[in-house]
Structure 1
Amino acid sequence: MDLTSYAEWAVRLVNDPDPPPGLRGLREELIAVFASADEDTLVARLNALLVRYPVRPQLSGHDGQRWHLHLAEDSAACAVMGLAAVVAELGADRLGRCQDARCSRAFLDTSSNRSRRYCSARCASRANVAAYRARRSNGQ
């Protein structure tokens, strides 16, 4: 069962400037997870969220597929479980914040070499253009 798609829910919630009222508290807690200075703090915050938002898996068979697991429809629990699964399977360093000075959006680094630094191609391009212009103005 790939839980990365559930972790993407958490990323979308963190990046949503106006989340649904019932998810605003969770958004702030997830922002703290992404802002954690070290892995132990990140894991402690995720473990606390897992206690508050328990996951209820269910067997499901639809669209001609065999029986498989789905997490319950509670989006808060699914988001927390997805992040926990990414940290367990890939490592805490896969949770990132955009390195563009004008952006602080969260992202999941699913690259094979753990090299992602920006939330989107737009931010990466903007940062690269700014660096190029800075080099060019310095006569390089």
Structure 2
Amino acid sequence: MELAHYSDFAVRLVNTEEPARNKDSLTSVDAVRALFGASQQMARRVTDGDVTRFRNVRGRLRSVFEAADGGDEVLAVDLLNSLLMEFPVSPQVSGHETLAEDGRPDWHIHLAEHPSNAS
């Protein structure tokens, strides 16, 4: 997955709730798995506890989007940085996808499933 996939995932996560209509489709392990896609390794590891965690993160991501939409870039960045501090990511270069025309791997960035600063 390239980085654009992760931002798409964030949008899909936020859109599992429609506060104005009092609707929430993120209510089960299967709903969380559907966000990832059934074939993804992460989807297979989802547990009941993850539903609550994703709902919590969803609310915080919504605040990031609302701040950005309202033109408050500083608040949006502060909120996003807070999430990144709590959930550190580790970029990793990968070349397992289709080969480029010249036969070289199609290099791209993934986010590793382990934090780079794990102790």
Q: TM-score range by the shorter chain?
A: 0.5 to 0.7
Aligned counterparts, 1:1-140, within 5 A = 3-16=3-16, 17-19=24-26, 20=32, 21=51, 22-36=53-67, 37=70, 38-65=72-99, 66=105, 67-73=107-113
Larger radius of gyration: 1
CA distance in 1, matches of 2:75, 2:81: 10
In the other structure, the counterpart of 2:36 is: none
Write the deviation string for residues 31-66 of structure 1: whole angstroms up to 9, x where unpaired. 111122411111110111111111112232224431
Structure 2 portions without partners, runs of 5+: 17-23, 27-31, 33-50, 100-104
Instruction: Return the TM-score normalized by structure 2.
Output: 0.52
Q: Runs of 4+ in structure 1 displaced over 4 angstroms?
A: none
Instruction: Return the TM-score normalized by structure 1.
Output: 0.45
- How many residue pairs end up in the alignment? 75
SS at match of 2:96: coil
Identify the structure with bigger relative contact order (alpha carbons < 8 Å, sequence gap 6+): 1
SS at match of 2:88: coil
Report the RMSD for the aligned CA atoms in angstroms: 2.6
Report the residue type matching 1:34 in the other structure: F
